[in-house]
Amino acid sequence: MGGADHSSEALLNQLTLTRDQFIESAALSVETITDVHHWCDGLFSLKMTRPASFRFRSGEFVMIGLPGDNGKPLLRAYSVASPSYAEELEFLSIKVPDGPLTSRLQYIQPGDPIYLGKKPTGTLVTDALLPGKRLFMLSTGTGLAPFMSLVRDPEVYQMFEEVIVVHSVRHVAELAYRELLESRLEGDPLLEDEDRARMIYIPTVTREPFHTTGRIQALIDDGRLFAQSKGPKHFVPEEDRVMLCGSMAMIKDHAADLERRGFEEGANNKPGQFVIERAFVG
């Protein structure tokens, strides 16, 4: 099954989930896992049923989880990776051997129940950005998740002339959704061909040979980030908009770099030129 902990029989037995262990509430519904995909030893995605009443904006996050040892819900915030029109909800997760939730969640199977929060929220949304020409989505690791929702949202392509998705990982195997992104979202039911043609995917790997290597900051500094764009070969605060999602250090470093370049951070109540997910950074 993959996963970092291979002494797994105890964990597998521990993850015998029955619906009577879950308690629906005003804040939580109980959904059913429909699919699980293990990208590599440290990364997996899962899909679950979507309540008819569940609405979200592309880029938002929601709480998901399992019953804890004390019977109370053990919840973590996860960005929704599926597009807003999808019938199922998809989430991307790392596997943490001693993580209270992911040490168990990584062994979940189709048919198992799972908690889903009823109130999605977040600042990684287009409402928090001023109008612009290019939208850069800069991500590391599982930070790609909200951008997988946004990049399949037709409204994003009505707002921007180019949509540039950048995903930095340590190893090639960690490039989740690589084939879908390399195909420019082939087969997407709502995107027009002209939309897909304006989507640019830039994967970069830091610890293995690959056609693009180095951290995102290196790609910005030497211009590789802009090589496929029809626009300027550098950031232009008046025209470019940036979303950041990844590790806390990555977000803080890039936010500081953007501010030095004249970008102002946006929020739902005051749109700006770049946004981060405040809930994950503090």
Band (3; pLDDT cuts 50, 70, 90): very low
How long a stretch of residues is the chain?
282
pLDDT single digits (tens) 53-90: 999 999 999 999 999 988 899 999 999 999 999 999 99
Nearest C-alpha neighbor of 54 from the set 63, 45, 46? 63
pLDDT surpassing 90 at residue 279: no
Cα–Cα nearest to 272, from 247, 251, 255, 252: 255
Share of the chain above pLDDT 90, in %: 89
pLDDT exceeds cutoff 60 at 185? yes
Give pLDDT tens digits for 104-118. 999 999 999 999 999
State the pLDDT confidence band at 268, using cuts at 50, 70 and 90.
very high
Each residue's pLDDT tens digit, 203-221: 999 999 999 999 999 999 9
Which residue in 172, 140, 121, 169 sits closest to 243, CA to CA?
140
> Is a pLDDT exceeding 70 seen at residue 224?
yes
Cβ proximity of 164 and 239 under 8 Å: no
> At residue 20, what is the residue type?
D
**Which pair of structure tokens corresponds to residue 103?**
């040490």
The pLDDT mean for the chain works out to 93
Residue 4 has pLDDT above 90, yes or no: no
Q: What are phi and psi of 225, to 5 degrees?
A: -60, -25
Question: Could you tell me if 44 and 7 are in contact, meaning their C-beta atoms sit under 8 angstroms apart?
Answer: no
